[in-house]
Structure 1
Amino acid sequence: MKVLVYSAKAFEIPYLEKANHQKHQLTFVENALSSETAMQAVGYEIISIFSADDACFLTLEKLKDFGVKYISLRSVGHDNVNLRAATRLNIRVANVPAYSPYAIAEHGVSLLLTLNRKLIESNHRVKQYNFNLDDLVGFDLNKKTVGIIGTGKIGSVMAKIMNGFGCKLLGYDISEDKNLVQNYNLKYTALQELCEQSDIISIHVPLNAETHYLIDEELIFHMKKDVIIINTARGAIINTEHLIDALKKDKIGAYGSDVFENEKGIFFKNRSKHIPDDLLLIQLNAFPNVLLTGHHAFLTEEALTNIAETTIDNLNRWSLNEETENELTDIST
């Protein structure tokens, strides 16, 4: 089958080609999917998109007119796809539901350790042969309370890692994981209680209507003054304006994130010669106690291999007119 791969990155193409085994005709384009770039899909029954692509209603209508029948996401998150519209238009959509929870959780721990132990500032000083230790004091993770918002695949790995540091674990989720309770002494609490008691808060929930701006000024008010917040989920789970206000007023200790509320159209490309005109991003970048990475928590060999293999498996199923277990739309074959 002919497949157009939108937002193709140099780092992922070899993994997709290896998983494909020359079975499908893959065409890679750097452009993200949008209503303007949908025209490129003319002549393709299948397209593959990433988290920065925009499969809104207007775009999906155009894709339908151009003959697209399938959309294979190379990500877990699918908030960038209007699934209702896809179902109505009879466009089948599938994602990669789990590629490496370890990659995401371990990246979150990296953000935490880097912030807590002031590693970037320390390294900057050493590069200048400045070995002064002032203002580099962190704290032991041992016996600290870690609140994990979302205890699914990624959140549960985060819980296990923090348990290894000797942390006390609190959890918040719509469903409880008995394994975490029994084996790692995680205690499920209300969200406000979690915020009140946690020294560290790590976010691992999907972005949807219920979680949009889940963390706002009201919840921040209930947090400990020196709390470290880690976000490897989605930027819009936190109200960025409220977060910045809290940082300005020293209401939180630090913020580490691999995501940003307005990252669409900004992330995944070199913007160093044309700095994005986004005041929220500029303000976040200016805080010494904020550490941002460019949505690359998933970037491990294992994760890229799993993403590629699942993506190609979705294509294989569709080429045989079969359903894949990863489908997000309820469309009969």
Structure 2
Amino acid sequence: MHVTFFSTKVYDRQFFEAANASAGHTFKFLESPLHAHTVTLAEGSKAVCVFVNDVVNESVLQGLRKAGTELVALRCAGFNNVDIKAATALGIKVVRVPAYSPYSVAEHTVALILTLNRKTHRAYNRVKEGNFSLNGLMGFDLHGRTVGLIGLGKIGLVTAQILTGFGCRVLGHDLRESEEAAAIGVAFTDLDTLYAKSDIISLHCPLTPQTYHLVNEEAIAKMKDGVMLINTSRGAIVDTKAVIKGLKSEKIKYLGLDVYEEEADLFFEDLSNKVIQDDVFMRLLSFNNVLITGHQGFFTTDALQRIAQVTLQNISDFEQGRPLANDVTL
């Protein structure tokens, strides 16, 4: 099957071409993101492969259908950027990669926690300049601290396993209680209790209408003074302006983000020679207790191999008329 890839980088080509050695598909790799002005580039492709910040709304889906596209293959787990209802109505199938490597994101979550706590990023820069002062670098023991995890899917469970290994008490909240989480030692609780008792709060839930701006002014007010907040899930789960207020009041003492609600105009690109126009994002960067990475939680060789394998399996299953295990259309 001929597949047009949008928003591709060098590493996408590397891993997909390697995985395609036995699959036999043909690829067209585009650096351009998918949106209303680029949808015509899919002409002649029965399938398109898209990423987290590609726009797959109703008008784009109509354009894809006109171009002959029958399958949208997401090379990621989330599908909040796709109008699933419109895709279903147009007869376009949408597939995803539900679990590429929960370890990659969970481990990056813990990396953010450790870096913010022990300030290793600041220490690294000091030592390079010959400054060996410890003033301002004091952290705290993770052992004995309470961590609240919102979302107990595969990534949340692996994060819980790692944190229990540090000796943390782990609270968890999800739509349903998980026997697997209980077996790890996670104490299931309601959101208000999690907010009130957690020294560290980490987000691992999908972006839905129910979780949009879940962390807002009201939620932050219920949190412990000096809380550490980590988000490696989806940017819009956090109300950024509310978080900035929390940082200014010192309600939030540490903030670690691998995602940002307006990241589509920023992340995955080299903007070092440009003036960033996003004033809210630049305000975040002005805090010395904020650590931001550019949506790299998924970025390990293990995860990228798995993403390519599962994506191509989804495409092959569609081509050969087999059941689509990762279909998200209605």
Task: Give, in angstroms, the shift of residue 12 of structure 1.
Answer: 2.0
Instruction: Find the counterpart in structure 2 of residue 45 from structure 1.
Output: 46
Moved more, 131-140 or 316-325: 316-325
1:34 equivalent to 2:30? Answer no
Aligned-partner Cα distance in 2 for 1:303–1:234:
18
Instruction: Find the counterpart in structure 1 of residue 16 from structure 2.
Output: 16
Unaligned segments of structure 1, at least 5 residues: none
TM-score with structure 1 setting the length: 0.97
Aligned-partner Cα distance in 2 for 1:175–1:47:
34
User: Aligned-residue CA RMSD in angstroms?
Assistant: 0.9
Instruction: Find the counterpart in structure 1 of residue 186 from structure 2.
Output: 186
Task: Give, in angstroms, the shift of residue 189 of structure 1.
Answer: 1.0
Task: Give, in angstroms, the shift of residue 179 of structure 1.
Answer: 2.3
CA shift digits 1:190-242 (9 cap, x unpaired)? 10110100001010000000000001111111111111111000111011000
Query: Secondary structure at 2:62's aligned position in 1?
Result: helix
Task: Give, in angstroms, the shift of residue 325 of structure 1.
Answer: 0.2
Count of matched residue pairs = 329
Task: Give, in angstroms, the shift of residue 170 of structure 1.
Answer: 0.5
Aligned-partner Cα distance in 1 for 2:231–2:93:
30
Instruction: Find the counterpart in structure 1 of residue 128 from structure 2.
Output: 127
Instruction: Find the counterpart in structure 2 of residue 58 from structure 1.
Output: 59
Q: Aligned ranges for residues 202-281 of structure 1 at < 5 Å?
A: 202-281=202-281
Query: Secondary structure at 1:253's aligned position in 2?
Result: strand
Task: Give, in angstroms, the shift of residue 265 of structure 1.
Answer: 2.3
- The one-letter code matched in structure 2 to 1:228 is M
Task: Give, in angstroms, the shift of residue 124 of structure 1.
Answer: 1.1
Query: Secondary structure at 2:275's aligned position in 1?
Result: coil
Aligned-partner Cα distance in 2 for 1:31–1:282:
25
Aligned-partner Cα distance in 1 for 2:38–2:145:
49
CA shift digits 1:82-119 (9 cap, x unpaired)? 00000000001100010000000000000000000011
Instruction: Find the counterpart in structure 1 of residue 300 from structure 2.
Output: 300
Moved more, 266-275 or 48-57: 266-275
Aligned-partner Cα distance in 2 for 1:69–1:316:
13
- The one-letter code matched in structure 2 to 1:278 is D
- Identical residues among aligned pairs (%): 42
Task: Give, in angstroms, the shift of residue 11 of structure 1.
Answer: 1.3
Aligned-partner Cα distance in 2 for 1:321–1:178:
35
Aligned-partner Cα distance in 2 for 1:317–1:73:
14
Deviation >2 Å, runs of 4+: none
- The one-letter code matched in structure 1 to 2:102 is P
CA shift digits 1:16-57 (9 cap, x unpaired)? 011111601111010000000001011111100000100011
Q: Aligned ranges for residues 69-88 of structure 1 at < 5 Å?
A: 69-88=70-89
Query: Secondary structure at 1:228's aligned position in 2?
Result: strand
Instruction: Find the counterpart in structure 2 of residue 319 from structure 1.
Output: 319
- The one-letter code matched in structure 2 to 1:303 is A
Aligned-partner Cα distance in 1 for 2:185–2:44:
55
Task: Give, in angstroms, the shift of residue 264 of structure 1.
Answer: 1.1
- The one-letter code matched in structure 2 to 1:246 is G
Aligned-partner Cα distance in 2 for 1:122–1:282:
23
1:100 equivalent to 2:87? Answer no
Aligned-partner Cα distance in 2 for 1:4–1:135:
50
- The one-letter code matched in structure 2 to 1:213 is H
- The one-letter code matched in structure 2 to 1:79 is N
Q: Aligned ranges for residues 281-296 of structure 1 at < 5 Å?
A: 281-296=281-296
Task: Give, in angstroms, the shift of residue 180 of structure 1.
Answer: 2.0
CA shift digits 1:100-157 (9 cap, x unpaired)? 0000000000000000001111111101101111111100000000000001100000
- The one-letter code matched in structure 2 to 1:116 is N
CA shift digits 1:267-319 (9 cap, x unpaired)? 11111112321111101111100000000100001100000000110111111
- The one-letter code matched in structure 2 to 1:218 is E
Aligned-partner Cα distance in 2 for 1:98–1:189:
25
Query: Secondary structure at 1:12's aligned position in 2?
Result: helix
Aligned-partner Cα distance in 2 for 1:284–1:142:
29
Q: Aligned ranges for residues 107-126 of structure 1 at < 5 Å?
A: 107-126=108-127
Task: Give, in angstroms, the shift of residue 175 of structure 1.
Answer: 1.0
